[in-house]
C-alpha cells in the first residue's frame, strides 16, 4: 500500500468518524430540546394548576367553597390550635360577610361573590374543625409562642 493510499484510508476513516460524531451531536441536541420542551410543559402545567388553585371560583357556589376551603387551609394552616375559640371563627365569618356586604353595596359583584364564597369556605373549615377533621387552620390567631425551659 502506498503512502497516498494509506493517507486516503486514514482520511476516509476520519470522515466516517466525523459523520458519526455529527450524528451523535444532532441526536444529543434533539434529546436536549425534547427534555427542555417537557420541562417547559411541566412548568406551564404547574403554573396553570397554581393559577386554578389560587383563583377564586365565584359562579358555582359549592365548587368555589370547596376550592377556597382548601386554599384557606394551605394559606393559614399551622400545626398548633391552642388559643382558637368558637368566637374566633364567628368573628372571622362576620368579617368576611361584612366584606361581601360592603362590596355589594359598592356594586362590586365579583368581589361580593368572592367574599360570600370565602365566608362559606370558612364555615366549611370551622365545621371540619368541630368534627376534628382538620386542626391546622387558625383564623386570625398567631401561632403560640414557644416557651424556653431554661
> What is the model's pLDDT at position 101?
96
In this structure, the number of other CB atoms found within 10 A of the CB of residue 73 comes to: 16
Is residue 101 within 8 A of residue 116, CB to CB? The reply is no
- 137 strand-pairing partners: 77
Share of the chain above pLDDT 90, in %: 25
Is residue 84 within 8 A of residue 141, CB to CB? The reply is yes
Candidate from 74-78, 105-109, 127-131, 142-146 with smallest mean pLDDT: 142-146
Is residue 96 within 8 A of residue 119, CB to CB? The reply is yes
Q: What CA–CA distance (Å, rounded) separates 65 from 91?
A: 19
Q: Supply the mean pLDDT for the chain.
A: 82
Q: What is the pLDDT of residues 20-79, one digit of tens each?
A: 999 898 889 989 989 999 998 988 888 887 777 666 666 688 888 998 988 888 887 745
Q: What CA–CA distance (Å, rounded) separates 63 from 140?
A: 24
Domain ranges of the chain: 1-55, 58-130
pTM of the predicted structure, to 2 decimals:
0.55
Amino acid at each position: 500500500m502506498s503512502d497516498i493510499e494509506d493517507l486516503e484510508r486514514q482520511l476516509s476513516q476520519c470522515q466516517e468518524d466525523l459523520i458519526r460524531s455529527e450524528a451523535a451531536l444532532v441526536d444529543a441536541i434533539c434529546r436536549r430540546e425534547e427534555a427542555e420542551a417537557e420541562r417547559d410543559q411541566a412548568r406551564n402545567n404547574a403554573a396553570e394548576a397554581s393559577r386554578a388553585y389560587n383563583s377564586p371560583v365565584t359562579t358555582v357556589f359549592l365548587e368555589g367553597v370547596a376550592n377556597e376551603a382548601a386554599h384557606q387551609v394551605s394559606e393559614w394552616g399551622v400545626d398548633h390550635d391552642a388559643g382558637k375559640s368558637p368566637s374566633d371563627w364567628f368573628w372571622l365569618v362576620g368579617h368576611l360577610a361584612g366584606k361581601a356586604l360592603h362590596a355589594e353595596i359598592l356594586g362590586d359583584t365579583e368581589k361580593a361573590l368572592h367574599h360570600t364564597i370565602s365566608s362559606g369556605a370558612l364555615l366549611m373549615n370551622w365545621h371540619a374543625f368541630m368534627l376534628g377533621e382538620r386542626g391546622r387552620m387558625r383564623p386570625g390567631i398567631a401561632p403560640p409562642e414557644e416557651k424556653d425551659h431554661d
